[in-house]
Amino acid sequence: MSKMVADQADGLRRLLAHTPTRVVAVAGMEPELGATTAAMNLGAALVQQGKDVLLLDEHAAAAGSAAAVWSLEPPGTLSDVVCRRLTCEGAAARASCGVSVLPALSGIQPEEADLRRLWQGDVILVDAAFDGAGRLSSLAQMADELVLVLQPHAASVTSAYSGIKRLHYAHALKQLRFLVNGVADPEAAQLIMNNLVQTGSRYLAVSLQPAGWVRTDPHLRDARRLNRTVVEAYPASPAAVDFRRIAADMGQWPWRAGAGLAVLPARETRSQYIAAGS
């Protein structure tokens, strides 16, 4: 009975929302974890499932950005759209897999960009960048979900936990999801996910939810060489199967009561957060 009530409440929130667009930020606490690759492949998988997907590229100036890998030259940026110099459709470039890509460098403030009004497709993915202090970008704070990408080894898990702690104290973040990338042993990945869920709940009072895992796969490297995602280039490969499964699960994630992550402004300090009794 409780599940039925929850499903009804979720459906009602969707009906009352301004638009059905879901905004998901994907990020890695450190480079080379595969966060950009994950965002690109999830986007390609969502398109294959009939979704209209926009990828906001906060790493647009980097050599390994989504636009660079797909060899795209978008006519404009998110700033052009916010300032009404271009429409979102006119500023973005469309990859061969069907994902629209729009550079979104730092500096956009939440009050300037209502993402769901600027672009009313099915899913907006933010390939998110952290600032120098490890805080969320303004765009990532607007997301319904934050997905952190980590790898199944001790250093990456430790870095991810430290990053989660920083995010929690900087923004009073209450919940996020995590994706384990480069998995050789799914059982070990499941153990890592279970441990993170328990640790977050016990020591930080943060709801950590697993988004799934992606198996290690040489086809990922082959796809990158072809400037394509593994989902489109090698659809039967293990990694492509995993990305499609995660993309399908995204449609079942509960919708939040309000738009955006439950966060405090970045200027709030840990002492202010504790003093508030949160």
- The predicted structure's pLDDT at residue 260: 63
CA distance from start to end of the chain = 31
CA dist list (Å): 53 to 29, 124, 136, 140, 156: 24, 6, 22, 16, 29
DSSP symbol at 112: T
Q: Which pTM was predicted?
A: 0.85
- The predicted structure's pLDDT at residue 259: 53
**What is the torsion angle, in degrees rounded to the nearest 10, for the CA atoms of residue 201, residue 203, residue 204 and residue 206?**
-10
Amino acid sitting at position 56: L
Domains of the chain: 19-275 (3.40.50.300)
How many beta carbons lie within 10 A of that of residue 225, not counting itself?
9
How many beta carbons lie within 10 A of that of residue 135, not counting itself?
17
Q: Which two tokens stand for residue 175?
A: 């919940």
Helical pair 154-171 and 186-199, crossing angle rounded to 10 deg: 30
pLDDT (tens, 9 = 90+) of the chain, 278 residues, equals 444 444 444 444 444 444 588 999 999 887 778 999 999 999 999 999 999 999 999 998 788 899 999 999 999 999 999 888 999 999 999 999 999 999 997 666 555 667 888 888 999 999 999 887 778 888 888 899 999 999 998 888 888 888 888 888 888 888 899 999 999 998 988 898 898 888 888 888 888 899 999 999 999 999 999 999 999 999 999 999 999 999 999 999 988 655 566 544 444 333 333 333 33
- The predicted structure's pLDDT at residue 277: 33
Q: Of the candidates 23, 17, 10, which has an alpha carbon nearest to the alpha carbon of residue 54?
A: 23
